[in-house]
């Protein structure tokens, strides 16, 4: 499987930032990138559930690393009909401003 790293996204404790698919993915890791203070992340899932992940609980893993599972993400307009990209989740910092990286494997 090929790994694609997204550019870091700035995250604060005030506003949730959506983490969006940039490619087809069967496995995804989301984590604070370590460039700032790691405070942990509050994650809101598409179904509305909310979970907190301390730095020690990261990376947040979606899908199966061996590539045997279904797609967990697809980019925007993948079917040519202008559809939206998959939103994996929305994240906020549990403290100081930080940044988050997302790695997708397809």
Give the integer Cα–Cα distance in Å for 73 and 86. Answer: 5
Per-residue model confidence (pLDDT) at position 18 = 98
Number of domains in the chain: 1
CATH number where 7 lies: 2.60.120
Per-residue model confidence (pLDDT) at position 26 = 95
Helix runs in the chain, H state only = none
Q: For 28-74, write each residue's pLDDT tens digit.
A: 999 998 776 789 999 999 999 999 999 999 999 999 988 788 999 99
Nearest C-alpha neighbor of 7 from the set 24, 27, 22? 22
Looking at residue 3, the DSSP 8-state letter turns out to be E
Residue numbers of the domain that contains 77: 3-105
Per-residue model confidence (pLDDT) at position 95 = 92
Residues 6+ apart with CB under 8 A from 66: none
| Average predicted confidence (pLDDT) for the chain | 92
Residue 77 has pLDDT above 90, yes or no: no
Query: Which sign, positive or negative, has the C-alpha torsion 68, 83, 88, 8?
Result: positive
Question: Angle at CA 93, nearest 5°, toward 106 and 90?
Answer: 45
Give the integer Cα–Cα distance in Å for 86 and 21. Answer: 5
């Amino acid at each position: 499987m090929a790994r694609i790293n997204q550019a870091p996204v700035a995250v604060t404790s005030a506003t949730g930032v959506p983490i969006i698919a940039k490619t087809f993915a069967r496995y995804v890791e989301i984590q604070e990138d370590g460039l700032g203070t790691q405070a942990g992340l509050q994650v809101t899932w598409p179904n509305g559930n909310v979970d907190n992940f301390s730095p020690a609980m990261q990376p947040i893993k979606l899908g199966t690393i061996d590539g045997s599972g279904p797609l967990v993400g697809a980019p925007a307009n993948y079917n040519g009909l202008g559809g939206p990209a998959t939103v994996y989740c929305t994240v906020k910092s549990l403290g100081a401003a930080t940044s988050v990286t997302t790695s997708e494997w397809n």
